[in-house]
Amino acid sequence: MAQIFPAYANTVARAAILGAAALGCLGLGLLIALPATSHVTRQDIIVEQPVQFSHEHHVGGLGIDCRYCHTSVEQSRFAGIPPTHTCMTCHSQLWTNAEILAPVRRSLAEGVPLRWQRVHVLPDYVYFDHSVHVTNGVGCSSCHGAINRMPQVRQVAPLTMGWCLSCHRDPAPNLRPESEIFNMDWKPPSDQAERGPKLLEHYGIRSAHLTDCSRCHR
Ligand code: HEC
Ligand code: HEC
Ligand code: HEC
Ligand code: HEC
Ligand code: HEC
């Protein structure tokens, strides 16, 4: 019988099958492992920024209020990212020659906004609203962690549907009074089991429909 394939073809084929099998296992392994890893949820990734802005210094150290920079957090869906002139209210007098601030001065001089990269990103098909949360007893740190101790912002919570729902099913244990919304160190007090339901009533939260699909997918 005439040999159609050269002898080495067998070896090649075997290698290919072995390779495919190995890749298959790897693929399957990844499919199983990935959804559970923080890589998929973007947790704890450090995002490169045009200027290394430190919340640890500005919030933790200097005590600047979140709303000084994230001006629309109580009024709109979006917290907002500060424009260059917000930085320059201080940095036109402070650290005026610092190399680290050169991109900020250039942005002001050229009138081109700094291109801050997003750290938290929900898919487009999810509806989220900051104001609804922060005016109804949910503080920043419940979702963003201790921002006042972060030299660079990291995503602390998984931001998965399961995570949103775990609070929406039973918000009371996470609710705080108005005065604590911007307190990054707030922890539920020991009598939260009594305070929670009272806060639920105080804010007039009707938790019955908080898990309806249309709340977050509209
Ligand atoms: C002096 C201005 C300033 C203050 C005050 C400030 N921030 Fe920011 N914040 C920024 C800037 C600039 C960015 C974008 C760069 C970055 O992500 O580090 C940012 C980013 C963030 C992000 C990430 C946004 C994203 O891309 O997902 C969160 C969350 C955040 N700030 C929360 C807070 C909280 C909570 C407070 C108050 C405790 C606060 N910030 C106070 C300027 C400020
Ligand atoms: C209310 C005043 C104020 C505002 C507003 C402000 N800063 Fe600062 N910033 C300071 C002070 C004061 C320091 C020195 C901090 C220190 O030495 O601990 C500083 C330091 C810095 C530094 C040097 C590194 C560091 O973190 O110590 C950078 C970079 C910086 N700021 C960027 C920014 C940017 C970007 C903005 C706007 C989003 C901004 N700052 C808004 C007061 C301000
Ligand atoms: C219930 C959870 C939750 C709370 C409470 C919350 N955030 Fe957020 N924040 C998010 C999510 C989710 C995103 C990403 C939104 C997106 O991708 O559309 C985000 C994004 C941001 C951003 C990026 C810019 C923007 O407007 O989306 C900033 C800045 C921010 N948050 C600041 C704050 C501050 C300041 C507070 C407290 C006053 C706060 N957040 C409270 C969940 C929360
Ligand atoms: C720690 C608790 C908590 C977490 C986490 C949380 N929420 Fe909420 N959310 C609430 C509470 C409390 C309300 C009810 C406010 C009200 O109706 O009075 C609410 C209301 C809402 C509403 C209703 C707005 C409206 O106009 O009907 C949307 C949308 C929403 N949340 C989306 C989300 C999404 C998306 C996530 C996850 C990325 C999330 N929430 C995470 C506590 C939370
Ligand atoms: C409290 C907010 C919230 C509610 C209520 C909610 N979702 Fe989601 N949903 C999310 C978020 C956030 C994501 C994106 C993150 C993720 O995939 O986990 C998501 C993602 C999804 C996805 C894409 C999932 C994937 O694996 O790619 C589907 C499908 C979905 N939701 C269906 C539903 C259905 C059906 C309901 C009602 C039973 C519902 N959601 C209720 C917040 C919500």
pLDDT along the chain (218 residues), means of 10: 48 43 42 50 87 97 97 97 96 93 96 96 97 98 97 96 97 98 97 98 94 96
pLDDT in tens, 23-65: 444 444 444 444 445 556 888 788 999 999 999 999 999 999 9
User: Which of these, 218, 183, 191, lies nearest to 60 by C-alpha position?
Assistant: 183
Which ligand places an atom closest to the C-alpha of 122? 3
The Å distance, Cα 196 to ligand 4 centre, comes to: 16
CA R_g for the chain: 25
Give the whole-angstrom CA distance, residue 80 versus residue 35: 30
Q: Which residue has the tokens 């890893």?
A: 37
Mutate to test the pocket of ligand 4, among 133, 141, 142, 178 (most ligand atoms within 8 A of CB): 133
pLDDT of amino acid 40: 64
CA distance 113 to 93: 20
At residue 207, the pLDDT reads: 85
Which ligand 1 atom is the nearest neighbour of the CA of 51? Answer: 15
First to last CA, the chain: 68
Q: Give the whole-angstrom CA distance, residue 94 versus residue 101.
A: 10
Pocket test for ligand 5, best of 160, 161, 167 (most atoms within 8 A of CB): 161
